[in-house]
Amino acid sequence: MPDTLPADSVGLVTPQQAHFDEPLALACGKTLPAYDLVYETYGKLNVERNNAVLICHALSGHHHAAGYHSMDERKPGWWDAHIGPGKTIDTNRFFVVSLNNLGGCHGTTGPCSINPDTGRQWGPDFPVMTVGDWVNSQARLADRLGIQRFAAVVGGSLGGMQVMQWSLAYPERIANAVVIAATPRLSAQNIAFNEVARQAIRSDPDFHGGWYAEHGTMPKRGLKLARMVGHITYLSEHSMGAKFGRDLRSDELNFGYDVEFQVESYLRYQGDMFSTAFDANTYLLMTKALDYFDPAAAHGGDLAAALAPANCPFLVMSFSTDWRFAPERSRELVDALVRAGKPVSYAEIESPHGHDAFLLPDVRYQAVFGGFMKRVARDITRAGDK
């Protein structure tokens, strides 16, 4: 909790809600009859309405990307390091929109919402969402906010997939794309980790086929395990080693199975916190959206062909020790964009922090990312001068 808000913070923010009555056709064949999207905005939309930046969140993210909900909030939004006055995404220049995606568990319509057809919670009946479905719903939110074209759409990890999808589905509505620590499709290993997470959740006796709310339970053990496995993939071997090494909680070995090593304690703590704060059905759904994303599939695996509709400049960034979506995966995207003749810049940021690096401050990361956003801002100013 800050006593006073930092000068480069967007300050106190209040989530807003947009209700949509127009049914949304989904990739799975089902239709969402009506839904709510929860979102936050930072900065001001200019008169020309051309300074909007959309933030797309990752697996366990949400709409609260920057600032504080109250003076009692312990930590600011998840991307506060990069969004604020004078920061990488400068809210003195940009109008930033950040939403919670459909299927989420932070206020947007999802498995915890009431299914109007049954009067019960959707639970496991909530349709499996795809990145394409999310982007379609985001476009409707843009319509609602009076944004015809985003100055930039920005996202890391699963958020980066949404950015790619924007450039393909709505090329006329995105002026610049920033894809960070992402991949154009999951590898078998990525899907395997997701499957372990899903099995952990689904095999928890408290899961009840996804109807745990009706049973008055929560599959906390499963969700905890899922998060522990996921968390390992977010960190690098180096960063775990540097943080915990082989440190013990007490001075000696106990020859038992309670927590002994600090890394065990850390993972259990992370898992425990997550298991009470996140919804299991949402976690399952988000991992599926990751698994399914593969724009090249419809083009016989030719990613360059799939990228043909894109017509905005891309900035692609990866992190040297990210082994979840390693630099090679970003290179796949960059090489395909080059083959397709699209404008793209690529930087591989040296960082010890693994996949999590995209969330953290870093001098070079901010220099490249900030440089790109400065150019985006300059283009807006020039458009205004004409």
Q: Which is nearer to another protein, 16 or 366 (CB)?
A: 366
Cβ at position 128, least distance to another protein in Å: 35
Q: Which is nearer to another protein, 213 or 344 (CB)?
A: 344
CB 316 within 8 A of CB 365: no
Nearest to residue 135, comparing CAs of 110, 182, 171, 90?
171
227 annotated ligand binder: yes
Task: Find the binder of another protein among 141, 145, 218, 368 (CB under 8 A).
Answer: 368
User: Does the annotation count 21 as an active-site position?
Assistant: no
Tokens 């366990």 sit on residue: 60
338 binds another protein (CB under 8 A): yes
384 binds another protein (CB under 8 A): no
Q: How far apart are CA 201 and CA 224, in angstroms?
A: 8
Residue 210 structure tokens: 């996804």
Judged by CB under 8 A, which stretch of 68-76, 216-224, 235-243, 333-341 contacts another protein? 333-341
Q: Which is nearer to another protein, 222 or 327 (CB)?
A: 327
315 binds another protein (CB under 8 A): yes
52 binds another protein (CB under 8 A): no
User: Does the annotation count 355 as an active-site position?
Assistant: yes
Task: Find the binder of another protein among 75, 144, 299, 339 (CB under 8 A).
Answer: 339
340 binds another protein (CB under 8 A): no
Among 322, 330, 353, 362, the one annotated catalytic = 322
Task: Find the binder of another protein among 367, 381, 383, 384 (CB under 8 A).
Answer: 367
299 binds another protein (CB under 8 A): no
Q: How far apart are CA 66 and CA 41, in angstroms?
A: 9
90 annotated ligand binder: no
- The number of residues making up the chain comes to 386
Residue 160 structure tokens: 């980066």
Identity of residue 223: L
Q: Which is nearer to another protein, 144 or 375 (CB)?
A: 375
Nearest to residue 295, comparing CAs of 149, 111, 165, 123?
165
268 binds another protein (CB under 8 A): no
Identity of residue 157: S
Q: Give the binding-site size for another protein (rule: CB under 8 A).
A: 22
341 binds another protein (CB under 8 A): yes
Q: Which is nearer to another protein, 161 or 316 (CB)?
A: 316
Cβ at position 365, least distance to another protein in Å: 10
Count of beta carbons in the 10 Å neighbourhood of residue 288: 17
348 binds another protein (CB under 8 A): yes
Cβ at position 10, least distance to another protein in Å: 24
346 binds another protein (CB under 8 A): yes
Q: Report residue 129 CA to chain centroid gap.
A: 14
Among 63, 82, 106, 355, the one annotated catalytic = 355
Residue 109 structure tokens: 């319509």
Alpha carbons within 13 A on the beta-carbon side of 386: 7
Cβ at position 319, least distance to another protein in Å: 12
Among 98, 113, 137, 157, the one annotated catalytic = 157
310 binds another protein (CB under 8 A): no
Q: Which is nearer to another protein, 233 or 321 (CB)?
A: 321
Binding positions for another protein, rule: CB under 8 A: 313, 315, 331, 334-335, 338-339, 341, 343-348, 364, 367-368, 371-372, 374-375, 379
Which residues are known binding-site members for substrate?
227, 356
Q: Annotated binding site: which residue ranges? A: 227, 356
Q: Which residues are catalytic?
A: 157, 322, 355
